[in-house]
Amino acid sequence: MAAWSEARSRGGVSEAGMACPAGATAGSEPTDGECSAAGTPNPAFRRDVLAGLSARPRAIPARWFYDRRGSELFEAITRLPEYYLTRAERSILTAHATDVAALTGSGCAVVEFGSGSSAKTPLLLAAVAPSAYVPIDISGEFLRESVAALADRFPELPIHPVEGDFMHPLVLPPSVGDAPRLGFFPGSTIGNMSAAAAVDLLRAMADTLGQGSKLLIGIDRIKPTNVLIPAYDDAEGVTAEFNLNLLHRINRELDGTLPVGAFHHIARWNDSEARIEMHLEATRDISFIVAGRPFAISKGKTIHTENSHKYGPRDARLLLRAGSWTPIAEWTDRDGLFALILAEARPVPAAP
Ligand code: TRP
């Protein structure tokens, strides 16, 4: 997410220049968004790690993946041959941004949830000719970078960045005017949340944008595990390095003594939850210290670090409806791997 990666468009931001999945955005302390250099531990990071290592099953919120190194590794993930999501979504936008524009009309205000520095945002902006662009992100630094990049590309486009947590309803700046709103939430970031958190977010988005607004959202589809698993466990080991970087970060920032070499990256499909899970598995019995506290993990036990929920076509539409959005169009890539869905915020009709 640094120079821009897709991860930046994913919502919350944990550190200077680093975004993190919106679904994982946890605390509301102002410290959450601040840089934690070695020696000045971020209190929210410390709290989440200590609580996560004490819980059973062990789990650490995915938002903490994205320090500088984690952001670089995530960007590398989006370029892996096995990681189809980014390419598939970009190909859908390339082929269908004009179809989106035909349904939204020109002159709407595009509101991106996450600061839009991904290569996808210009594809959308070029097609819909918006009256304004409103990136929303927790990280002021990300916002500034993405605004600068897009201002270069679209010198005529008014840009109104909003620094805030889009997990909650926000008031858009009055300068946006009363143009119809088109929300944009790419990257299947919605999949990094539980269904309950995803519905809360969708409703918050509808509140922020208002009735009659539209939302263009990227959602990854359920598919055979021989395609899903390699996307989260690539041959080169980049995703493994990304996952293990969390342990390095704990060692660096929280005075940890975790033996990183004794952990193994795992990506598994949890069919009943319809999600890919990433874990770090202990390959032997381990004792270590974090922030002065002793911990132990026995061989074969894991730390759960990420979920990526996948949705069949009907599942995705049901999720949107539960979040108060009515699907009006959807497009997929040639191989049907990924879906881009356009939905409208409509009042829920009275029951028949
Ligand atoms: N939303 C994307 C996905 O679920 C991006 C992502 C979030 C990701 N966390 C990740 C990709 C961890 C790889 C590894 O795939």
pLDDT in tens, 58-105: 999 998 998 889 988 998 999 999 999 999 999 999 999 999 999 999
Q: 107 alpha carbon to ligand 1 midpoint, in Å? A: 32
* Residue 309 reports pLDDT greater than 60: yes
pLDDT at 71: 86
Find the DSSP H helices in the chain: 43-54, 68-77, 84-104, 120-128, 140-153, 195-209, 225-231, 238-253, 313-322
Q: How far is the CA of 89 from the centre of ligand 1 (A)?
A: 13
Establish whether residue 85 lines the binding site of ligand 1, counting it when its CB lies within 6 angstroms of any ligand atom.
yes
The stretch 135-153 carries a mean pLDDT of: 88
Q: Return the minimum-mean-pLDDT range out of 105-119, 158-172, 279-293.
A: 105-119
Q: Which atom of ligand 1 is found nearest the CA of 10? A: 1
Q: Quote the tokens at residue 38.
A: 């070695």
Measured in Å, residue 272 CA sits from the centre of ligand 1 at 19
118-130 per-position pLDDT tens digit: 789 999 999 999 9
Q: Which residue has the tokens 């889009």?
A: 166
HSE toward the beta carbon, residue 269, CA cutoff 13 A: 13
- The pTM assigned to this predicted structure is 0.89
Query: Relative to the CA of 77, which ligand 1 atom is closest?
Result: 13
For residue 306 and ligand 1, the question of a CB distance below 6 A is answered with: yes
The number of the ligand 1 atom at minimal distance from the alpha carbon of 78 is 11
State which of 306, 307, 311, 337 you would mutate to test the pocket of ligand 1, scoring each by most atoms of that ligand within 8 A of its C-beta. Answer: 306
Least confident of 137-146, 159-168, 272-281: 137-146
Measure the CA angle with vertex 181, ends 187 and 342; round to 5°: 45
Do 189 and 23 form a contact (C-beta atoms < 8 A)?
yes
Mean pLDDT of the chain: 89
Percentage of residues in the chain having pLDDT higher than 90: 78
pLDDT of residue 39: 56
* Per-residue pLDDT, 306: 98
Tens of pLDDT, residues 203-245 = 999 999 999 999 999 999 999 999 999 999 999 999 999 999 9
b/e code 259-273 from CB counts within 10 Å (16+ = b): eeebbebbbbbeeee
pLDDT computed for residue 185 by the predictor: 97
Judge if the beta carbon of residue 324 lies within 6 A of ligand 1: no
